[in-house]
């Protein structure tokens, strides 16, 4: 796939398009957000493993720079002890507007891993922007009181949730809780458990690829 870094007006981001990309062809778009302490490169290599022919990928970089120790810096969508994702949500949505303006597509998915998955749910699923689907990998709900249906209705928004049974960072109970709460709101959930920890393995990607192919 062909990747390009962008110095966005709000957040930096990377785009990845198929090797034979043509502006005349319609593609789906998948926005994927990294977790706490990582950056926009973290999930980049997943794109060809998910689907390298039919989708354009956008990888935004979280706005908060944090010191991870040993002179290593990472980025976060919000402080780990905080539930205040709203400022980052505004920057994210402006960045999504900026990125999507380059392409012609009405078939847009938003997803992420860990803290990125939290943003996908709260800043994506429950936002004023229409999404075809939402992907939450090893994630959780930040605030139940803010699960207010707006643009994305249960009848037209698909949801994929995966979680590792041995996740010691975000317990699988959190993933199950997310599934249950979204089902209570009427959403149909594809929920998968894996014999893994806080990670994304080939089984997750294969299942996600199959899920996308059925949309």
pLDDT value, residue 134:
98
Residue 144's domain comprises 2-213
Structure token digits, residue 102: 């380059």
Q: Are 65 and 73 in contact (CB under 8 A)?
A: yes
With a CB cutoff of 8 Å and minimum separation 6, the contacts of 16 are: 1, 2, 3, 4, 44, 47, 56, 57, 59
pLDDT tens sequence across 50-73 = 999 999 999 999 999 988 777 788
pLDDT value, residue 105:
85
**Maximum alpha-carbon separation in the chain:** 48
CATH of the domain at 173: 3.40.50.1820
pLDDT value, residue 24:
86
CB atoms within 10 A of CB 188: 11
Task: Give dist(CA 199, CA 145) in Å, integer.
Answer: 28
Q: Total domain count for the chain? A: 1
Task: Give dist(CA 198, CA 165) in Å, integer.
Answer: 9
pLDDT value, residue 68:
75
- The whole model's pTM is what? 0.94
- The stretches in the chain having pLDDT less than 70 are 215
Task: Give dist(CA 95, CA 147) in Å, integer.
Answer: 22
């Amino acid at each position: 796939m062909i990747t390009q870094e962008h110095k966005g007006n709000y957040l930096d981001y990377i785009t990845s398009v198929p090797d034979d990309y043509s502006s005349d062809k319609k593609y789906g778009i998948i926005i994927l957000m990294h977790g706490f302490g990582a950056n926009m490169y973290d999930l980049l290599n997943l794109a060809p493993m998910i689907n390298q022919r039919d989708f354009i990928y956008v990888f935004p970089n979280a706005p908060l720079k944090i010191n991870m120790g040993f002179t290593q810096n990472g980025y976060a969508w919000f402080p780990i002890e905080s539930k205040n994702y709203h400022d980052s949500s505004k920057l994210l949505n402006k960045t999504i507007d900026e990125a999507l303006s380059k392409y012609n597509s009405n078939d847009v998915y938003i997803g992420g891993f860990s803290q990125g998955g939290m943003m996908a749910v709260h800043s994506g699923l429950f936002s004023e922007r229409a999404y075809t689907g939402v992907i939450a990998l090893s994630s959780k709900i930040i605030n139940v009181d803010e699960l207010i249906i707006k643009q994305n209705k249960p009848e037209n928004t698909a949801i994929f949730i995966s979680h590792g049974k041995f996740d010691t960072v975000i317990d699988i109970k959190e993933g199950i809780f997310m599934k249950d709460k979204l089902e209570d709101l009427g959403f149909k959930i594809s929920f998968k458990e894996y014999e893994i920890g806080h990670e994304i393995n080939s089984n997750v990607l294969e299942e996600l690829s199959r899920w996308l192919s059925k949309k």
